[in-house]
Structure 1
Amino acid sequence: MSLSTPQVILITGASGGIGRACAIALSEAYPKCVLVLSGRRADALRETADACTGPTEIAVGDVSKDEDVASMFEMVTKKYGRLDVLFNNAGVDLLPSTPLEDADMATFRRALDINIMGAVLCTAAAIRLMRTHGGGRIVNNGSIASSAPRPNAAAYTVSKHAVLGLSRSTSLDGRKFGITCTQLDIGNAATDMISHAARGATQADGSVRPEPMMRVENVAKTLVFLAGLGADADVMRMEILAAGMPFIGRG
């Protein structure tokens, strides 16, 4: 199989965790590709950039804010004139283990703004740019929570179900522009956000049990594969999770 070579890839939430691991792997796989690293913390983005082997561009901003997304894509358009791959990876879990009836609704809305509207704003801007040069690929970090929620995780679950709807709509509406969209659902990759599951996570029956974890590099290898697919291939949805973790039959 002959893989294509992307020229410009934008990764949101690139300051650490899955975003950083994916940036490093992509820079090694496609050393001539420009990686645009987006996030809210300039110092952490620079650390990611320093760990990459190829050219990088830092775009500091909040993907839930229209003006920050507009500024980021204006920079990409002016400097590079194209975008081949967008990885909508930025996301938060602001209300872990919180029953819906006890949730602070301002915090709930903030989680939705980042997880949903961040992906919506970046996707809309990416489509506008990608359609000018024949298409591209969008990958959304959806989480396996888009299929099976954890207990007391309504905010995160609602947001990831919405991302699945965005992925499917983008895949459908992007056809006429040569734009594909993949929902990449990830479970128990060893990052700061989910590392607590290795010590113990609440199960559907109320018990707390340690869960298997996988190295985040497995996710990075998956994104490298998706980024390198030819324009004639579309992956609608993919799940990658720690072997043996409770998912099928989770509830």
Structure 2
Amino acid sequence: MKSILITGASSGIGRATALEFLQAGWRVGLIARRAEVLQDLAQAHDNAMALPCDVTDAGAMQAVFDSFVAHAGRLDVLFNNAGMFGPSAPIDEVEIDAFDQVINVNVRGMFIAARLAFAQMRRQDPQGGRIINNGSLSAHNPRPGSICYTTSKHAITGMTRSLSLDGRAFEIACGQIDIGNARTELVDDLNARILAEDPKADLMPMMDVADAARSVLHMAQMPAQANVQFMTVMATKMPYIGRG
């Protein structure tokens, strides 16, 4: 049975992806801070394992990785997904602490998870595995007022490229999925901010979050000799191409 660890698994894209992999017959480790939510999900699925943890806590992350590998036998895939948007404002209105918080979760947290996955995949027998980083359309074209989030997601693209290069010697593939406007709590929050500024504003086009989850599954199921390096999946009519 193939195994995957998913960070940010308690809601949004992470939860939808966990359900998709469970339905496909994978063993799924669920990492997030909300223990009760993870336990409810795990109790409903025999192959799910709740691993409550803060992704920015390196020691706790080591413990949950070790626990999952002891249970599953190996780690085939990491979906490095946990993240936050942060404040929506011009840079001079953003508090330094708020910027630090976004970078801590979106960059440092993903670095910790990738580091642990890489180490496990490098030493296991047979060697290798796959790391899938959750990027964003903001890694290419930012939204207005997204300086914290956009900066963090550009960093993730660099992380993806470095992991892809460094992983070649150890049969470790790395790819990035850039998701645009999947219907999640984060997008609902962005829509609420838009309506707060202008109650008559048109809301952003959205797609079902399950479409994003199926895309992650597709990337994970590629044979070892193939890799989806970058994938963009988005709501068809969102203003990504040509926006500026």
TM value normalised by structure 2:
0.92
What is the aligned partner in structure 2 of residue 99 from structure 1? Answer: 90
What is the aligned partner in structure 1 of residue 15 from structure 2? Answer: 20
Runs of 5+ in structure 2 lacking a partner?
none
Following superposition of structure 1 onto structure 2, how do residues 198-213 of structure 1 map, counting pairs within 5 Å?
A: 201=194, 209-213=202-206
Do residues 69 (structure 1) and 61 (structure 2) align?
Answer: yes
What is the aligned partner in structure 2 of residue 117 from structure 1? Answer: 108
* Greater helix content: 2
Which amino acid is the alignment partner of residue 20 of structure 1? Answer: R
Structure 1 residue 78 displacement after superposition: 2.8
Following superposition of structure 1 onto structure 2, how do residues 15-54 of structure 1 map, counting pairs within 5 Å?
A: 15-30=10-25, 33-51=26-44, 53-54=45-46
- 1:54-86 residue CA offsets vs partner (Å, 9 max, x unmatched): 411111111111112111122123333310000
Does structure 1 conserve the Cα–Cα contact (< 8 Å) formed by 2:6 and 2:18?
Answer: yes
Does structure 2 conserve the Cα–Cα contact (< 8 Å) formed by 1:188 and 1:197?
Answer: no
Q: 1:197 to 1:209 in 2, by over 3 A?
A: farther
Runs of 5+ in structure 1 lacking a partner?
1-5
Between the aligned residues of both structures, percent identity stands at 40
Q: 1:50 to 1:18 in 2, by over 3 A?
A: farther
The 3-state SS of whatever aligns with 2:18 is helix
4+ aligned runs moved over 4 Å, structure 1: 196-202
Does structure 2 conserve the Cα–Cα contact (< 8 Å) formed by 1:219 and 1:240?
Answer: yes
Of 117, 134, 137 in structure 2, the residue corresponding to residue 126 of structure 1 is: 117
Aligned length: 238
Which amino acid is the alignment partner of residue 125 of structure 1? Answer: L
Of 82, 95, 98 in structure 1, the residue corresponding to residue 74 of structure 2 is: 82
Quote the Cα distance in structure 1 between the aligned partners of 2:176 and 2:122.
20
TM value normalised by structure 1:
0.90
What is the aligned partner in structure 2 of residue 149 from structure 1? Answer: 142
Quote the Cα distance in structure 1 between the aligned partners of 2:141 and 2:23.
33
- 1:91-129 residue CA offsets vs partner (Å, 9 max, x unmatched): 01121x211111111121011010001110111110110
Q: 1:197 to 1:108 in 2, by over 3 A?
A: closer
